Amino acid sequence: MTRPEPVFIGYFPKRTTGHTHWINNPVVEEVCSVSECLSEGPPNWIDKWKHNDRWVYDTEEMAWSVIDDDRKAYDMYAYKMFPIVFDGAKEEPWAIGSTARGDLSGYQFLGFDIVNRTCDSTFECSPLSCNGGFNQYPVNRHCLIDDLEDAWRICREIATEAEEQGSWEPGPYYLVAVHRKKKKAPVSPADGA
């Protein structure tokens, strides 16, 4: 099968968790997984019902609008999802209907995440951060995988093991490219601002 290009599905604000006692890996400095298990989204974001069919937001403005508390506490993420579902040992095409739009030139690619969704709703668990995959697989400082070939292979492996051995959360699994908005450097008084 020819590997398809990922589809931009939208934006999501999260409180990025730094290194925790749970992540026993010296490489990991922060958890930028797609799931909300460790790095959470805004409280009650689902209840506002502004998300799209992929359970993220079509525009950055829409994503910011669901935050009722301190916006400075959040990072803005953008996700591109591969249109493949990894269900056990099967890899099948999956049509992603996306209405998201925006310019990601102000975003930095952080790596690839593997995430399950047992029904067509929110992302559930990322085995790399939620289930200790950081001890078994080569993760970067964001608890993500740098290399697409590795990410694809690992996603296939996890999906197969989840079905055959029950060693991970139940599938199906998806592969997501994770991007985060770059923060502007503060202007110092010496800069004349």
Residue stretches of the chain with pLDDT short of 70? 1, 120, 185-193
Predicted local distance difference test score (pLDDT) of residue 145 = 98
Predicted local distance difference test score (pLDDT) of residue 187 = 56
What does the alpha-carbon distance between residue 52 and residue 169 come to, in Å, rounded to a whole number? 25
- Is residue 192 situated within a structural domain? no
Instruction: List, in sequence order, every residue forming a beta bridge with 65; answer none if it has no partner.
Output: none
Query: From residue 45, how far is each of 38, 56, 67, 95, 120 by CA, in Å?
Result: 16, 10, 8, 25, 17
- Is residue 2 situated within a structural domain? no
Give the range of the structural domain holding residue 66, as residue numbers without chain letter. Answer: 7-183
Task: Show Cβ contacts of residue 154 under 8 Å, excluding neighbours closer than 6 positions.
Answer: 114, 133, 137, 145
Predicted local distance difference test score (pLDDT) of residue 1 = 57
- Is residue 155 situated within a structural domain? yes
Strands (E), the chain: 7-14, 17-18, 30-31, 75-81, 84-87, 90-93, 107-116, 173-181
What is the secondary structure of 127-150 as a DSSP string? TTTTSSGGGTS---TTSSBS-HHH
Cα–Cα nearest to 160, from 89, 110, 59: 89
Q: What are phi and psi of 128, to 5 degrees?
A: -65, -40
- Is residue 101 situated within a structural domain? yes
- Is residue 21 situated within a structural domain? yes
Predicted local distance difference test score (pLDDT) of residue 22 = 72
- Is residue 190 situated within a structural domain? no
Work out how many domains the chain is built from and give that number.
Answer: 1
Per residue in 35-84, pLDDT tens?
A: 978 888 888 877 777 778 888 999 999 999 999 888 899 999 999 999 99
Q: Which two tokens stand for residue 47?
A: 């209840």
Q: Map residue 48 onto helix, strand or coil.
A: helix
Query: From residue 80, how far is each of 25, 162, 176, 186 by CA, in Å?
Result: 26, 23, 6, 29
- Is residue 1 situated within a structural domain? no
Cα–Cα nearest to 23, from 110, 124, 133: 133
